[in-house]
Amino acid sequence: MSEFKIQMPKLGESVQEATITKWFVKEGDRIEEDQSLFEVATDKVDSEIPSPVDGVIKKIFFEVNALVPVGETVAIITTEGDDEPEKKEEENTEVKSELEKSSEKESAQSLIAKSEVKEVLEIPEATEIIPVTEVSETKATRFYSPLVLSIAKSEQVSLIELESIKGSGLNERVQKNDILAYVEARKKGNVAPTVRPSGVKVEEKQALAKVSVSFGASDQIIEMDRVRKIIADHMVMSKKVSPHVTSVVEADVTNIVLWRNRIKDEFRAKYGEKITYMPVFTEAVARAISEYPLLNSSVDDYKIIIHKDINIAIAVAKPDGNLVVPVIKNAEQKNLVGLTKNLNQLAEAARKNKLTVEDYQGGTFTITNFGSFRNLIGTPIISQPQVAILATGSIEKKPAVMETPTGDAIVVRHKMFLSLSYDHRVIDGAMGGAFLRRIADILEEFNIDREV
């Protein structure tokens, strides 16, 4: 019989601690592999943490509402021997030895992603081809059991490879059979080359230009919360990394407004979903990107990586005022109904703080909706490592001159501004302007008789 330590896993970039909101077990309970142990909450994600082993809960170290650092032991499970006790003991001893060399706050995943723990904010960037035997410096986004880590180490499977494996366990957690199948496929040459993020590390305590601020006794001083600090650092980094250019066009979206007013009740009755303008905007952006693929790229030094999948991130304001950016994966493959359902699901999860780490990952282009706050135009900041971001303004009724068979006439039309910020290292003014104009044209050409 041996003991297995359950540690607080890494739940996202720059997340260093999480709050235990619920225990599903108590001391003395028997637990099975993949059965939920406890629920945690961070500023970005709420997740259920499964058990990586079968056994009995020997000790629980933290109560509900405790704030626990990443890598801290939260519970101990006693495990019974199996048909391979010597092998298990070897694996546990190896893992324990590695953990003792790590800092107390380093997660179990760092057995593969071995790097010094520094006070840095890691920003995921573009990708480059690397040998499968190279050890990645990327931090893991999922929990891996010591058995899986041990197999990965012995088979020289890098962390970025582990991250690419779709597991068969709860929440796609990688199990023993999954990694063994991956290793076998790799030996047969059925695995694509591994890619890794080429991150930009920005020192968290980097000295910024200090501005002298005077304040009075009646002024209020508010300390930024963790999410706001991360957003602030990310925005400053983006402006330093990318030379921003913003172009603006005005689009006539009268057909879209009239179409939505006509079909919204029918759409809800047929699909059980409320349709907004955002699915239409997302569809138009995906179409335009397929014609201008360079807008779906990232920059790594002097290399441009054009992404095959069009993963559109949608900026969503949370009830606490912070901003989250969940991602619609493969937007170019979804119809209007699919985009609507996907958007509504992400928006509902954001409101309830139920977005997962996977919901935030993989974005290749971003849309932010200033119009939801009745703003006409905005100049958004690019979300690195993407090269462009689109802002949609408020839809307003305006007088417009239109050509008619009897001459020009002044009519009332529904119009909105679209503003595109793009990285001038990659996108020049001609391409940025043409791409933005193409989005506007797609919206203006919308079929008012489109069926739902």
Closest-CA residue to 74 (of 59, 94, 93): 59
In this structure, what token pair is assigned to residue 38?
A: 């406890």
- Residue 335 CB neighbours (<10 A): 9
Q: Whole-angstrom Cα distance, residue 294 to residue 435?
A: 10
- C-beta pairs of 144-147 under 8 Å, 24+ apart in sequence: 144/52, 144/108, 144/109, 144/173, 144/174, 145/52, 145/53, 145/175, 146/4, 146/52, 146/91, 146/92, 146/95, 146/108, 147/52, 147/91, 147/176
Closest-CA residue to 59 (of 73, 48, 38, 43): 73
List the catalytic residues.
424, 428
φ, ψ (nearest 5 deg) of residue 368: -125, 140
In this structure, what token pair is assigned to residue 12?
A: 């996202």
Q: Whole-angstrom Cα distance, residue 253 to residue 440?
A: 9
- Residue 422 CB neighbours (<10 A): 28
Q: How do beta strands 323-324 and 312-314 pair?
A: unpaired
